[in-house]
Amino acid sequence: MMKVFAAMFCAAMVFALTGCSKDYENDIIGSWKVISITETETYQGETQTYSETPEGLNILTFNSDHTYQASSDGQVRDSGTWSLDDDKLILTDSENTRQNFTIDIDGSDMTLTTSMSFGSEGSYKMIMKLKKV
């Protein structure tokens, strides 16, 4: 009986320590349509928010070999590599420019968020909503 309890306890601890971590490695693979983009800019205390629903077919495709392509109406606009670090998505384009996003995937919905601070001058935040296609 004690061995069964010890095995169940170990299994519960493994689940507790790993069950809550966000592992989007397999979830991100595939094509995602950009549904909306919201940008918020703050400069010298004034904030402006812009929201748009992109026209046309804007797709981000994440391949299992850790490459990605961004296309608009079938034309490739950007490509490079991607990596994940917990809930952080890092895109590195062909010019070696890195973009860092916080990623959240809920079924067929993905949200990418990025932000920058310009010290006391202001800040920028972008939230992109995508749907798996």
- Compute the distance between CA of residue 101 and CA of residue 103 in angstroms, rounded to an integer: 6
Maximum distance among all Cα pairs of the chain, rounded to whole angstroms: 67
Output the six-digit token pair for 56: 């046309």
Return the pLDDT at 4.
38
Q: Dihedral through CA 10, CA 12, CA 13, CA 17, nearest 10? A: 140
Return the pLDDT at 90.
96
Return the pLDDT at 22.
60
Higher-confidence residue of 4 and 113: namely 113
Predicted confidence (pLDDT) per residue in 5-17, tens digit: 333 333 333 333 3
CB 58 within 8 A of CB 72: yes
3-state SS, residue 112: strand
Counting every residue written for the chain, the total comes to 133
Q: Within 13 Å, how many C-alpha atoms sit on residue 78's CB side?
A: 16
CB 67 within 8 A of CB 93: no
pLDDT exceeds cutoff 60 at 112: yes
Predicted confidence (pLDDT) per residue in 42-83, tens digit: 998 899 999 999 889 999 999 999 999 999 999 999 999 999
- DSSP secondary-structure letter at 22? -
pLDDT exceeds cutoff 50 at 116: yes
The model's pTM is 0.80
Confidence of residue 113 (pLDDT cuts 50, 70, 90): very high
